[in-house]
Structure 1
Amino acid sequence: MLGWGQPATLLLIHDRPPAAAGPKQLRELRSVEFPLRREDLPTDAAGLPVLLRHLAGALHDPAATTPYRATLATILGRIHATAPDARLLAWAACYDDIHTLDGQPRQTRRVDAVDTDGRAYHLTHLRGEDHPLLLVNDSPDPNDIPTGSGLAALLAATTHHTPTTTCGGTA
């Protein structure tokens, strides 16, 4: 939980084989934090989803030369250079929001995620509450969560640019 008013942050969630081989060969879950610049967010209410779709579009366009495209390509390249059999699992967005509960506006920290199996996750932590609320939807409409369509587009774009394994899945 960052303090209120921090820029939105994206998380690239992936896994890889553990550094030390064990008997069960469990995989390590990892994430890479990707902070967004406040000045890049559009000023309208749909700002973060619009930016996510813009980032996804830039990844699909090999001629795009945006700083984010270069950064995302570098991150993905480093992950696969370090762990060639790493697998992309999900993209998540962590951001501030205002929630109106019983008509009262309250500061809220949200984390939305979309995974490669098509599930959507929505974590809401109201300021002053002890515990966040987690909703998981196994077959969501991309518009069920505020950033869902943008995260789904980013996931599709990133998966498209991820090296494939010999069995046809993403690495």
Structure 2
Amino acid sequence: MLSFDAVHNLCTCLIEASTESARFDFNQLPTLLLVHDWPLIAAAASRGPAMRSVEFPPHPDDVLDNPAGLPALLHHLAATLHSTPKVTPYHRTLDTIITRIRHAVPDTRLLAWAACYADVSTLDGELRQVRRIDAVDTDGRLYKLTHFSGEEHPLVLVDDIPDSRDLPATYPGLVALLAATAHYTRPATTGPKA
């Protein structure tokens, strides 16, 4: 289970990702993020484990060719990462990312998957462009960030027990990605090697 401080730090990590993504065009393709702990930095910090996010790039053809959009892409990616033999470009990309992270910090663990995407929402009766980040951590906790165009800070919701009637369409796919990559959620020294 993630501690209160870990959940707070994961929120901070996602807010930083949202702030960075706000510099990009709202018409860009969705971005997937791997959120992992960073024990070397945490040792010097006084407040729980530090975290970082790393972009996991979906192939543009997978994004553009799928009429069902981002939720279907997440399920496709999860199914691909569950597949055997593990020789797809997505397997190689994930293994490369995790290997490089663990080369610097061997006990790094994957803590969450996130999807960053553009959307349109209504605020005060007006349609506004918005950048969203939906994330799910290893405890199944849901994080929803909404960053309206022109606003300095995003709105943040953390739901410890997500209500099935109010889930973003990305939630099941993010849960599936966590299941497909569960062996990366344990430190390399205690679980399977990356």
TM-score, length of structure 2 as denominator length:
0.73
Q: 1:80 aligns with which of 81, 86, 102?
A: 102
8 Å contact kept, 1:163–1:170: no
Partner residue, 2:159: 137
Partner residue, 1:149: 172
8 Å contact kept, 2:183–2:191: no
SS of equivalent residue, structure 1 residue 69: helix
Could you list the runs of 5+ residues in structure 1 that have no partner in the other structure?
A: none
Which amino acid in 2 is paired with 1:127? S
Relative to its length, the structure with more helix (as a share) is: 2
Aligned positions of 1:1-171 closer than 5 A: 1=22, 2-18=24-40, 22=44, 27-41=49-63, 42-44=65-67, 46-101=68-123, 104-141=126-163, 144-160=167-183
Partner residue, 2:14: none
Seen in structure 2, the aligned counterparts of structure 1 residues 91 and 170 have a Cα distance that, compared at 3 Å, is: farther
Whole-Å separation in 1 of the counterparts to 2:93 and 2:81: 11
Partner residue, 2:4: none
Could you list the runs of 5+ residues in structure 2 that have no partner in the other structure?
A: 1-21
CA-CA distance at 1:27 after TM superposition:
3.6
Between stretches 16-25 and 74-83, larger displacement belongs to 16-25
Could you tell me the percent identity over the aligned residues? 55
TM-score, length of structure 1 as denominator length:
0.81
Between stretches 23-32 and 7-16, larger displacement belongs to 23-32
Seen in structure 2, the aligned counterparts of structure 1 residues 22 and 53 have a Cα distance that, compared at 3 Å, is: same
- RMSD, aligned α-carbons: 3.1
Deviations 1:9-63 (A, max 9, x none): 111111132169549695431221123343321442x311111111111111122
8 Å contact kept, 2:136–2:171: yes
Deviations 1:113-154 (A, max 9, x none): 000111100101122334321111101156712211111111
Whole-Å separation in 2 of the counterparts to 1:161 and 1:132: 29
CA-CA distance at 1:80 after TM superposition:
2.6
Whole-Å separation in 2 of the counterparts to 1:146 and 1:165: 32
Which amino acid in 1 is paired with 2:84? P
Which amino acid in 1 is paired with 2:171? G
SS of equivalent residue, structure 1 residue 81: helix
